[in-house]
């Protein structure tokens, strides 16, 4: 049975010593004092460790079951969900008028990591609900908001997002689900949607489906797509539940992982739907919360990596195998623990330096979303829009790799389901795919975000890195050498890649797009390099000021030194690849593959 | 349902146009004319595609079942196994006197790829038998060979290898299974072994377990380990089967993949065993065939990657999604096929250039094993001994990554078991672990093989690369630039890393071992770079001489150019990491993880 401990000490360090959130002028941030966030994280950590984590293996082993149109969730999920609702966790960052607690998104994200790490499949039920509720909040009429939000904020009702159809995923313009206008202003929705997470289950009284469909007679392609609210049960005027709507589950998918979440084929058979937002502006309505949703998936990459890492550390300390090459370290035992071996260390340091760096990156991203939403800051909105594909693509690709590394520490036991390490990799795998496959993230970054607003946001990013380096160089030689210099070099690589895209992409866009995956990864490394430079600086300041917890801060600096020395130089390889352009990538005829 | 096609054209190209096997003076190679190997591969391909491949999904879905001490294999496995035996495939490279066909190992490997790619879990039953039979062949008495080999070569009886115990895997000196000498010269074996592939099943009349155990009263640790033959059923003097021996299955493991193979907990309860080889020389006896066994696992890495790649290509050509950025390519369809998109191309080229390069590397390795065994060539033995951890570690790490990339091409469908792509990653994952986890391969390479025979073999490797570059440079400018120069640069990186290990490893061995994983990977890249330089050269010669199949040879050169431009430069990153030494890797106290 795997372990899970909420990494709250690290989260608190990032929130308060690195991001200094309670000192920020973002509305709502002044309340986020260390004592307060500490208390919230502690309670959330208890739920994660005591309620969600024990259900993680159960969910994986049992999976969901479809019988006569009813989906049964794994044993214990219903009780666990009730505890989440009782604790008010489902509406932490939702408006008070609908029953939420109106906390900033950054706190929701910090808490969300604990839930996702302890049970990703379970946490998706409320995660999808949060996404659907956010779309209604942004685009719904007063009546729609009043009808749906209170029950969605409390998760008495859950929500879903219906985009994909069997023949189209990324290219939603091809969709066939249609909406026929009715005289009463509603629509009849007909079509099939697939990969609908939490599409049907037994944990809520009602399910509010948000469904993309084309209004009959509307424009062709993506410009004719609208968004509809399709409740599983009709809602009467008094708020009570009425008849069943024509939205039914056709099947649940057998998947590689996240077995505890029901992934449904949903059939809409003249189901009554209500337009959400404007006609033919469905993509905009669906994607309003895209930055948030994608940051949420980025957080899942971090969460699974950290949970797997925690177990790898335990095993490496516990399992006795071989002797340290530099001399026996456990003379009373039959062998030394795995953790003495340099290659095991290398793997654990890869994992640790990723998880802590990623946590900072995700929380920093969440503050930008708050700044954009709560302060209406356009620059923050532009920057997070630029960084969203980096967060999602880089952290889920790397997060998956880290779960594979954690599994590898276990040797043969990593391959056996009994030890639980296989589940981390199988669950983490989905985050590279959903909410826009990572190849699409890279395309979004290079094909769209780089040039957005005339390249203003990427220039601002480089300026920010430059300013940071300038302001913090020249005070501590060791710090300059370990942090500032590698960050400068990596940032320069990234700029060179951007320059290459500008120059060569004009000649042939494939020269840019062939390097999109590399660019996304090098951008991610630069961001983590920046996070580490900031964290090391904060840690050094605390050490210089005197602390009773030297070990934590010294480990922080040493972990950062590892990242800068061993991981960040990957930018040079990505740049070298990018600069070869489309030439070798596009050379073959399709028939030659 | 996934597809699988035997890549025989490519295998033939490597065997005959690159390795020129029938022109070699290795005994048995002159028979390996293109017509002959082509006919063998064609027949093997039919079995792979028509018999093994359809059972692959069945095996994954059904798995094995343990009932009252009997393990039932998935539906159809028995029939499939009968067809493998009938066709004589199980003894292809075993001696004729025991019913084999005495073919060189290189042909066995080429055929083995097809079987492994079409059904890894199934092929392991005969693979383990092959390994056990090889150990008996090398160390058995005449009586032992006559008693066991004929039935093992035909796979009427299968074999197993019993090394791991619950508390020890890599560090076998800790083992507890004991062997008590009996007055008749046999031993009573008692203990528990885990992760025993094909430990119990319903496809053979008898199972011959090779079991490592410590003779009571012998030396402590690894020096007291001996190897024993423990048949499931005793074999009477007339060859008929007698009583059941005390070797029973305790459980079968639930695993991430290879569900069609029964991974058993084996309990030995005073089971009668017969010493194989010398007392206390069990490790030597078990590992005589280590290079072969590890090359076999390297081949599995390639095999799963190629099978997954074939499907990714099909999907990328078939699935319509989006439009090419350079202009519509499928104007009559609603969208262009995925394969027009540069990032999909990049992924497919990663996969293709890996699979073809790995195939050449594996087959080249197999010729070295033949040269060592059949010609008694000590240099070949030394070189393959050096390259074995590179083959095993690099090709299974990369092979796994490639299955993940192939899965990613499918988007959401890659995560759904129905499409079969998840199985490739789940099955491929084990190859990074068994037959020595890849961290142990890296340790073997850096800690042992580099310095073996005074570093003679690694010097010979560098000399070989240098000679190749010298002999082939200066004739074709495009070839020099695309192949010779990158190969030289990568080889230089590898030499620099070796130099670093020599200089800094003396000061602190952790400086070398912290870079062992990087070194294994950079070595692998240099080997694949060498393979691609050789393949491109061979392809160019055929093109220059005129051929009706220009497309194949041009694609070969272009695929090589991709590898050299986009993949090989990874050596610089690995070198940069290595040169940071143990400093940041070993900085943390164990308690700080």
d(C-alpha B123, C-alpha B121), whole Å: 6
Domain co-membership, A344 together with A466: no
Domain co-membership, B362 together with B489: no
Mean pLDDT (chain B) is 97
Give the end of a domain, one of B257, B281, B305: B281
In a domain, A320, yes or no: yes
Burial label for A271, CB within 10 Å (0-12, 13-18, 19+), is buried
d(C-alpha A253, C-alpha A194), whole Å: 9
Domain co-membership, A293 together with A277: no
Domain co-membership, A181 together with A248: yes
Pairing outcome for strands A157-162 and B225-231: unpaired
Å between A445 CA and nearest CA of chain B: 13
A179 membership: H or E segment, kind and range: strand A178-181
Chain B residues whose beta carbon lies within 8 Å of the beta carbon of residue A412? 164, 169, 194-195, 433-434, 437
Domain co-membership, A333 together with A354: yes
Token pair, residue A561, equals 């030194």
In a domain, A444, yes or no: no
In a domain, B148, yes or no: no
CATH of the domain at B428: 1.20.140.10
Chain B residues whose beta carbon lies within 8 Å of the beta carbon of residue A404? 400, 429
Domain of residue B380: give its range. 289-436
Domain co-membership, B92 together with B30: yes
B423 with B410: CB under 8 angstroms?
no
Residue A68 pLDDT > 90, yes or no?
A: yes
Quickly state the pLDDT bin for B290 (edges 50, 70, 90): confident
Å between A153 CA and nearest CA of chain B: 28
- By annotation, the residues of B acting in catalysis are 435
Quickly state the pLDDT bin for A291 (edges 50, 70, 90): confident
Token pair, residue A45, equals 């950590």
Query: So what's the pLDDT on residue A524?
Result: 98
Cβ <8 Å between B439 and A341: yes
How many residues appear in chain B?
Answer: 593
Residues 6 or more apart from B142 whose CB is under 8 A from it?
Answer: none
Mean pLDDT computed over B104-122: 98
Measured between CA atoms, the residue of chain A closest to residue B258 is: A415
What is the per-residue DSSP string for B85-134? HHTTGGGTTS-GGGT-----HHHHHHHHHHHHHH-HHHHHHHHHHHHHHH
CATH of the domain at A214: 2.40.110.20
Domain co-membership, B459 together with B582: yes
In a domain, B209, yes or no: yes
B228 phi/psi in degrees, rounded to 5? -130, 145
Percentage of residues of chain A with pLDDT beyond 70: 100
In a domain, A442, yes or no: no
B16 phi/psi in degrees, rounded to 5? -105, -40
A190 with A268: CB under 8 angstroms?
yes
d(C-alpha B229, C-alpha B206), whole Å: 13
Could you say which DSSP state residue A261 is in? S
Token pair, residue A221, equals 């392609």
Chain A residues whose beta carbon lies within 8 Å of the beta carbon of residue B591? 551
Chain A residues whose beta carbon lies within 8 Å of the beta carbon of residue B438? 408
Among A170, A334, A584, select the one facing B558 at the smallest CB separation: A584
Rg of chain A over Cα atoms, rounded to whole angstroms, equals 24
Among A352, A513, A588, select the one facing B325 at the smallest CB separation: A513
Domain co-membership, A24 together with A108: yes
d(C-alpha A556, C-alpha A535), whole Å: 7
Mean pLDDT computed over B443-457: 96
Domain co-membership, B214 together with B109: no
Cβ <8 Å between B513 and A169: no
In a domain, B73, yes or no: yes
A558 with B587: CB under 8 angstroms?
yes
SS3 per residue for A110-162: HHHHHHHHHCHHHHHHHHHHHHHHHHHHHHCCHHHHHHHHHHHHCCCEEEEEE
pLDDT tens readout for residues A294-320: 999 999 999 999 999 999 999 999 999
Total number of domains constituting chain A: 4
Domain co-membership, B211 together with B308: no
CATH of the domain at A14: 1.10.540.10
Residue A439 pLDDT > 90, yes or no?
A: yes
How many CA atoms, within 13 angstroms, populate the side-chain half-sphere of residue B295? 27
In a domain, A152, yes or no: no
Alpha helix segments (H runs only) across A419-515? 421-429, 438-444, 456-472, 477-479, 485-507, 509-513
Among B325, B418, B572, select the one facing A254 at the smallest CB separation: B418
Percentage of residues of chain A with pLDDT beyond 90: 98
Cβ <8 Å between A171 and B412: no
Give the end of a domain, one of A230, A254, A281: A281
Query: Which of B346, B400, B432 best probes binding to A when mutated, by most A CB atoms within 10 angstroms?
Result: B346
B530 with B487: CB under 8 angstroms?
yes
Pairing outcome for strands A263-275 and B157-162: unpaired
Token look-up 């370290």 returns A329
d(C-alpha A349, C-alpha A563), whole Å: 8
d(C-alpha A432, C-alpha A298), whole Å: 9
What is the value of ipTM here, to two decimals?
A: 0.97
Q: How far is CA A52 from the centre of its chain?
A: 18
d(C-alpha A21, C-alpha A15), whole Å: 6
In a domain, A494, yes or no: yes
Beta-bridged to residue B71, according to DSSP, are B66
Query: So what's the pLDDT on residue A400?
Result: 98
CA distances from B89 to A196, B111, B155, B158 (A): 46, 9, 10, 14
pLDDT tens readout for residues A482-509: 999 999 999 999 999 999 999 999 999 9
Residue B291 pLDDT > 90, yes or no?
A: no
d(C-alpha B256, C-alpha A426), whole Å: 9
Query: So what's the pLDDT on residue A480?
Result: 98
pLDDT tens readout for residues A554-592: 999 999 999 999 999 999 999 999 999 999 999 999 999
pLDDT tens readout for residues B364-393: 999 999 999 999 999 999 999 999 999 999
Mean pLDDT computed over A83-112: 97
* SS3 label, residue B61: helix
Burial label for A186, CB within 10 Å (0-12, 13-18, 19+), is middle
Token pair, residue B256, equals 């991430």
CA distances from A580 to A501, A577, B167, B482, B487 (A): 11, 5, 49, 11, 16
Query: So what's the pLDDT on residue B55?
Result: 98
Chain A residues whose beta carbon lies within 8 Å of the beta carbon of residue B414? 433
Could you say which DSSP state residue B173 is in? G
Residues 6 or more apart from B39 whose CB is under 8 A from it?
Answer: none
Name the E strands within A247-370: 247-252, 263-275
Query: Which of A170, A334, A342 best probes binding to B when mutated, by most B CB atoms within 10 angstroms?
Result: A342
Domain co-membership, B15 together with B126: yes
Query: So what's the pLDDT on residue B377?
Result: 98
d(C-alpha A531, C-alpha A538), whole Å: 11
Mean pLDDT computed over B162-171: 93
Query: So what's the pLDDT on residue A21?
Result: 98
Token pair, residue B83, equals 């067809």
Query: So what's the pLDDT on residue B289?
Result: 80
- Find the angle CA(B553)-CA(B556)-CA(B559) to the nearest 5 degrees: 150
Among B174, B335, B425, select the one facing A335 at the smallest CB separation: B174
Query: So what's the pLDDT on residue B256?
Result: 98
- State yes or no: is A435 an active-site residue: yes
* SS3 label, residue B336: coil
d(C-alpha A47, C-alpha B206), whole Å: 53
- Find the angle CA(A233)-CA(A136)-CA(A261) to the nearest 5 degrees: 60
pLDDT tens readout for residues A320-372: 999 999 999 999 999 999 999 999 999 999 999 999 999 999 999 999 999 99
Could you say which DSSP state residue B73 is in? P
Among B407, B422, B593, select the one facing A352 at the smallest CB separation: B593
Pairing outcome for strands B157-162 and A247-252: unpaired
Nearest to B525 by CA among B390, B400, B351: B390
Query: So what's the pLDDT on residue A308?
Result: 98
Burial label for A319, CB within 10 Å (0-12, 13-18, 19+), is buried
Helix (H), strand (E) counts: chain A? 20, 11
Rg of chain B over Cα atoms, rounded to whole angstroms, equals 24
B453 phi/psi in degrees, rounded to 5? 50, 40
Catalytic option among A113, A292, A398, A435:
A435
Measured between CA atoms, the residue of chain B closest to residue A163 is: B412
Token pair, residue A18, equals 């690195």
Query: So what's the pLDDT on residue B287?
Result: 83
Chain B residues whose beta carbon lies within 8 Å of the beta carbon of residue A408? 432-433, 437-439
Could you say which DSSP state residue A91 is in? G
Residue A270 pLDDT > 90, yes or no?
A: yes
Give the end of a domain, one of A264, A281, A298: A281
A526 with A519: CB under 8 angstroms?
no
A352 with A559: CB under 8 angstroms?
yes
* SS3 label, residue B231: strand
What is the per-residue DSSP string for B252-316? E--BSS-TTS-EEEEEEEEEEEEE-SSTT-HHHHHHTTHHHHHHHHHHHHHHHHHHHHHHHHHHH
Cβ <8 Å between B439 and A517: no
Domain co-membership, A373 together with A491: no
Quickly state the pLDDT bin for A288 (edges 50, 70, 90): confident
pLDDT tens readout for residues B311-351: 999 999 999 999 999 999 999 999 999 999 999 999 999 99
Cβ <8 Å between B509 and A326: yes
Mean pLDDT computed over A364-381: 97
Burial label for A377, CB within 10 Å (0-12, 13-18, 19+), is middle
Beta-bridged to residue B162, according to DSSP, are B211
d(C-alpha A231, C-alpha A244), whole Å: 9
């Amino acid at each position: 049975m795997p372990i899970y401990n909420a990494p709250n000490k690290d989260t608190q360090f990032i929130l308060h010593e690195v991001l200094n959130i309670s000192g920020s002028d973002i509305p709502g941030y002044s309340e986020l004092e260390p004592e307060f966030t500490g208390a919230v994280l502690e309670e959330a950590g208890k739920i994660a460790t005591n309620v969600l984590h024990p259900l993680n293996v159960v969910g994986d082993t049992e999976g969901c079951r479809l019988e006569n149109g009813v989906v049964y969730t794994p044993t214990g999920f219903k009780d666990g969900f009730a505890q989440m609702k009782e604790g008010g966790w489902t509406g932490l960052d939702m408006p008070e008028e609908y029953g939420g607690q109106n906390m900033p998104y950054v706190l929701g994200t910090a808490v969300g990591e604990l839930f996702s790490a302890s049970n990703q499949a379970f946490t998706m039920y409320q995660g999808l609900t949060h996404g659907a509720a956010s779309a209604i909040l942004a685009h719904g009429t007063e009546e729609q908001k009043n009808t749906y939000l209170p029950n969605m904020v409390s998760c008495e009702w859950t929500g879903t997002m219906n985009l994909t159809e069997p023949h189209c995923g990324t290219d939603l313009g091809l969709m066939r689900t249609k909406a026929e206008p009715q005289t009463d202003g509603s629509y009849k929705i007909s079509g099939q949607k697939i990969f609908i997470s939490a599409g049907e289950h037994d944990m809520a009284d009602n399910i509010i489906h948000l469904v993309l469909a084309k209004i009959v007679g509307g424009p062709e392609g993506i410009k004719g797509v609208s968004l509809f609210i399709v409740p599983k049960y009709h809602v009467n005027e008094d708020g009570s539940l009425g008849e069943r709507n024509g939205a039914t589950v056709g099947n649940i998918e057998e998947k590689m992982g996240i077995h505890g979440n029901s992934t449904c084929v949903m059939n809409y058979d003249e189901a009554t739907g209500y337009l959400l937002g404007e006609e033919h502006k469905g993509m905009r309505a669906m994607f309003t919360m895209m930055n948030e949703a994608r940051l949420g998936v980025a957080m899942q990459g971090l969460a699974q990596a950290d949970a797997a890492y925690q177990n790898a550390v335990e095993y490496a300390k516990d399992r006795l195998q071989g002797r340290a090459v530099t001399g026996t370290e456990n003379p009373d035992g039959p062998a030394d623990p795995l953790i003495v071996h340099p290659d095991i260390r290398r793997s654990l340091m890869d994992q640790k330096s990723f998880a802590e760096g990623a946590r900072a990156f995700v929380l920093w991203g969440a503050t930008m979303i708050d700044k954009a939403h709560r302060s209406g800051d356009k620059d923050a909105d532009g920057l997070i829009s630029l960084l969203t594909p980096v967060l999602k693509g880089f952290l889920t690709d790397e997060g998956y790799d880290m779960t594979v590394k954690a599994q590898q520490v276990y040797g043969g036991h990593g391959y056996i389901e009994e030890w639980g390490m296989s589940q981390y990799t199988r669950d983490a795998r989905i985050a590279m795919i959903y909410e826009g496959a990572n190849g699409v993230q890279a395309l979004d970054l290079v094909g769209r975000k780089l040039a957005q607003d005339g390249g203003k946001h990427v220039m601002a990013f480089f300026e920010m890195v430059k300013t940071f380096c300038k302001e913090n160089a020249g005070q501590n030689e060791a710090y300059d050498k370990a942090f500032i210099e590698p960050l400068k070099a990596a940032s320069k690589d990234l700029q060179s890649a951007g320059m290459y895209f500008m120059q060569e992409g004009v000649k042939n866009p494939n020269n840019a797009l062939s390097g999109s995956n590399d660019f996304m990864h090098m951008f991610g490394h630069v961001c983590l390099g920046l996070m580490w430079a900031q964290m090391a600086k904060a840690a050094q300041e605390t050490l210089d000021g005197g602390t009773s917890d030297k070990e934590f801060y010294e480990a922080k600096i040493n972990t950062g030194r590892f990242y800068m020395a061993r991981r960040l130089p990957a930018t040079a390889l990505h740049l070298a690849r990018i600069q070869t352009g489309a030439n070798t990538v596009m050379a073959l005829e399709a028939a030659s593959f």
